[in-house]
A = this chain, B = another copy of it.
Amino acid sequence: MADALIGAGVPEEDAKVCAEVLIAADKRGLDTHGIQRLKLIYIDRIRNGILNPKTNFEIVRETPTTAVVDGHNGMGHVIAKRCMQMAIDKAKKNGLGMVVCRNSTHFGIAGYYTTMAAEQGLIGMCGTNARPSVAPTNCVEPMLGTNPLVFAFPSDEEFPFSLDCATSAVQRGKIEMYHRNGKKLPEGWVLDNEGHCVTDTATALKGFVEGTACCLPIGGAGEELAGYKGYGFAAIVEILSSCLSAANFMSAVSGVRDGKKVPIELGHFFLAVDVEAFRPLDEFKKQVGDICRALRKGKKAPGAERIWTPGEKEYVAYCERKEKGVYIPDGLKPEMEFLRKEYNLKYEFPWDKKQ
């Protein structure tokens, strides 16, 4: 991935950062956010001139605890990683650190950045806005992004507590997966412009492109199952991501203006809290672990094998994939072969021999 990005014009050091974040997604089982997006979301956009491979990371304003960054439409992973490390460094010195940025781009899995904080003994919180795809409660058009609201905490277990999730009930990547597997969507995931539930994956995916379908927030449509709370969290992420940094928001990050593809310049926010400002880190870690262990010991629902804690599934995937490698769906192979050829890379793929 790094070599393909270098081929596309990303400086070596930055390409390594992008590849590291993408591979982290694949290692953790978050297939929708790893190598499957390398060409579509990053390299194609660089080639189309709507993503800047050379990142100009400009600190616009700074205090001992805060900073505002302009990413100038550079590589999102590079911008986000540097922002989070700034927040962490500020928190280590001053207890708390918060860095926001504008004109950034798709940064991969949000959990990568919060986990950076957790691995350094801090609490991490972050989020980003994204292309409008989610309908507010009582609305039938896409207005907010899938806007992840993400936290990680250091723990005394093998892996940190890490909730890395969109504030929508589902995101596009999962619907693409259902599409590839020929499965119908459950009710409560996608609405069309008339407020009807969409269960056909092709209709949903076409509707996303045309703006005639929208995802629902956590809790689904209407108020009965608290969809207004999911919508509220999505709006909070839109505000935290854009209003402190003067970033674009809502329809301005749709990537289309006057019918033409334009840069998708996003806003993000990153918060770090130094545990040691409050309490010895070991004690904090133990209590986080105690909470997770207590949760897992709850009485299981009939048919449920286990009660998971946030970050645990990703850790299980990581352990499995460390041994067995990462899953490459057949549909991805031509993209990887294209990039190998295009950038004159010398790799052998495991499936080369079979062909």
- Chain A interface residues (CB < 8 Å from chain B): 61, 63-66, 68, 94-98, 100, 123, 135-141, 143-144, 149, 151, 153, 161, 163, 165, 167-170, 186, 188, 191, 193-195, 218-221, 224-226, 228-230, 232-233, 235-236, 238-240, 242-246, 249-251, 273, 275, 277-279, 283-284, 287-288, 290-292, 294-295, 298-302, 304-310
- A291 engages B243 (CB within 8 Å): yes
Q: What is the bound-complex CA distance between A221 and B301, given in angstroms?
A: 10
Q: What is the bound-complex CA distance between A161 and B244, given in angstroms?
A: 15
Name A288's contact: one of B219, B243, B309 (CB within 8 Å).
Answer: B243
- B295 engages A244 (CB within 8 Å): no
Which residue of B has the minimal Cβ distance to A227? B218
Q: What is the bound-complex CA distance between A155 and B233, given in angstroms?
A: 17
Shortest A211–chain B CB gap in Å is 10
- A96 engages B66 (CB within 8 Å): yes
Contacts A169-B225, A243-B287 known; A143 to B294 CB distance under 8 Å? Answer: yes
Name A169's contact: one of B219, B238, B290 (CB within 8 Å).
Answer: B219
Q: What is the bound-complex CA distance between A338 and B313, given in angstroms?
A: 53
Q: What is the bound-complex CA distance between A291 and B244, given in angstroms?
A: 13
- B228 engages A308 (CB within 8 Å): yes
Q: Pick from A168, A169, A193 the residue with the most CB of B within 10 Å.
A: A169
Name A138's contact: one of B228, B239, B251, B304 (CB within 8 Å).
Answer: B304
Question: Residues of B contacting A279 with CB < 8 Å?
Answer: 61, 68, 243-246
- A66 engages B287 (CB within 8 Å): no
- A300 engages B244 (CB within 8 Å): no
13 further interface pairs, Cβ-Cβ under 8 Å (given A153-B239, A165-B229) = A66-B96, A66-B277, A138-B305, A163-B235, A165-B228, A170-B226, A218-B218, A219-B219, A219-B230, A225-B225, A226-B230, A243-B279, A246-B283
- A300 engages B139 (CB within 8 Å): yes
Q: What is the bound-complex CA distance between A310 and B290, given in angstroms?
A: 34
Q: What is the bound-complex CA distance between A287 and B138, given in angstroms?
A: 22
In the complex, the 7 A-B pairs of residues with the closest C-beta atoms, listed nearest first: A138-B304, A139-B298, A163-B232, A65-B95, A96-B96, A244-B278, A195-B301
- B218 engages A291 (CB within 8 Å): no
Name A308's contact: one of B66, B137, B244, B277 (CB within 8 Å).
Answer: B137
Q: What is the bound-complex CA distance between A61 and B228, given in angstroms?
A: 38
Contacts A226-B169, A232-B163, A239-B291 known; A278 to B140 CB distance under 8 Å? Answer: no
Shortest A273–chain B CB gap in Å is 6
Q: What is the bound-complex CA distance between A13 and B143, given in angstroms?
A: 46
- A235 engages B306 (CB within 8 Å): no
Q: What is the bound-complex CA distance between A97 and B271, given in angstroms?
A: 12
26 contacting pairs across A/B (C-beta < 8 A): A63-B95, A65-B95, A65-B96, A66-B96, A68-B278, A94-B94, A95-B96, A96-B98, A135-B298, A138-B300, A138-B304, A138-B305, A139-B299, A139-B300, A140-B300, A153-B243, A168-B226, A194-B302, A219-B220, A235-B309, A235-B310, A244-B275, A244-B284, A245-B279, A249-B291, A250-B294
